[in-house]
Amino acid sequence: MSQKKLDEPGLKNVSEFPIGTAVNINRLINDDALMSLQILNFNSITATSDMKMQSILPAENQFNWKKSDTILYYAKKHNQRVFGHNLIWHSSTPKWVEEKGNKDSLWLGEFMKDYIHKYVGRYKGKVAGWDVVNEAFESKGGAYRKTFWYNNLGKEYIANAFRYAHEADPDAVLFYNDFNIERDTLKLQAVLNMVKDFKKEGVPIHGIGFQMHIRMDTPDEVIAYSLKKAAETGLQIHLSEVDIIFNSHNDERLGGIENYSSITDEMKLAQEEKYKNLVLMYRRIVPKEQQFGITVWDFTDRDSWIKGFFNMKDWPTIYDEDLKPKPAYNGFLEGLKEKTKKK
């Protein structure tokens, strides 16, 4: 069951909504096997890190468009949607911005406006949507994260970022993106409250991104509840960074807890079921007109960020270390193909 027949269609060909992957563009275009799988399965592409601020503007007044332009070129050549990840995120803010911004918050406010206008404006009509602000809430609970941006500009930086992005490209779909909101109901409610306030104030927010870095023991019932509550906003829903791990972590770098050091056939089959259920929940719960798509965060265990970031073994994706489809691939595929009725 773990082997995919060569004549079977890729994931994108059986899906009613875009199927995306986040990848490192240089790795992708220099690996023919990886590229052929990406082209077969996906019709949406997100940069893992190449479109974050530290890559785009590593030094003052030194914009580096090389990798983002390469992504745009690749996407156009292979008829794929480009999703922009991301505009404002504390963890990808260059040190030179922090040093200058901590001294002068007025400069920082103008910098953010100019940066977003220039960046989003450059790709107006070419990047379909953006994660405008990423991870503005604490890992757990409903408090705003006291980031560099929050400390210098207050929580208003979030709304302003959306305003600036909309000014630069009125047709782009603008998302707030975060993790744990599929399982932490306090955090989810805080995001929903922010969305409600934005809609009341006329802030142009169009979507909620569920990163969906989930664990095998994340209850499907909780995920279903969270998707239902988010869909009730009427906004686009993007499963934006999907992978499913067996081990656990504390959400911090090198914070892995390795309960499993090897994977069994039983574990592979359980992961297959989890992927299938996740896709089915998205299809059943999120109204068709709100389905922005599902994006996996890397699609091979060889390339996954999980091992390096959390310093632990794991097998989170739909292809294995040798770029062979896992049962998880079949689960994803079956989740897309199975006939389903909306609840």
Over residues 166-216, the pLDDT tens digits come to 999 999 999 999 999 999 999 999 999 999 999 999 999 999 999 999 999
Burial of 221 (0-12, 13-18, 19+ CB in 10 A): exposed
Tokens read off for 10? 């890729």
β-bridge pairing 173-178 and 19-23: unpaired
What pLDDT was estimated at residue 342?
A: 55
How high is the pLDDT of residue 340? Answer: 79
pLDDT score, position 73 = 98
3-class DSSP assignment, residue 226 = helix
HSE at residue 76, side-chain half, CA atoms within 13 A, is 10
272 assigned to active site: no
pLDDT in tens, 211-238: 999 999 999 999 999 999 999 999 999 9
**Architecture of 44-163+195-205 per CATH?**
Alpha-Beta Barrel (3.20)
Instruction: Pinpoint the alpha helices (H) of 78-170.
Output: 95-103, 105-122, 148-153, 156-168
Give the per-residue pLDDT at 9: 79
Q: pTM for this one?
A: 0.96
Please tell me the distance from the alpha carbon of residue 177 to that of residue 28, in angstroms, as a whole number.
24
Q: Which of 138, 182, 241, 272 is catalytic?
A: 241
Q: Is 241 a catalytic residue?
A: yes
Q: State residue 192's pLDDT score.
A: 98
* pLDDT averaged over 10-residue windows placed end to end, the chain, 343 residues: 56 98 98 97 98 98 98 98 98 98 98 98 98 98 97 98 98 98 98 98 98 98 98 98 96 92 97 98 98 98 96 97 97 94 57
The pLDDT of residue 2 is: 41
Which CATH number, 3.20.20.80, 3.90.226.10, 3.40.50.300, 3.30.1300.10, labels domain 1-43+212-338?
3.20.20.80
pLDDT at residue 3 in the model: 45
Distance between CA atoms of residues 268 and 246, nearest Å: 10
Catalytic residue among 135, 138, 182, 272: 135
Residues of the chain with CATH 3.20.20.80: 1-43+212-338, 44-163+195-205
DSSP string of 254-269, one letter each residue: T-EE-S-SS--HHHHH
Q: What pLDDT does 7 receive?
A: 52
What share of the chain in percent tops pLDDT 70?
97
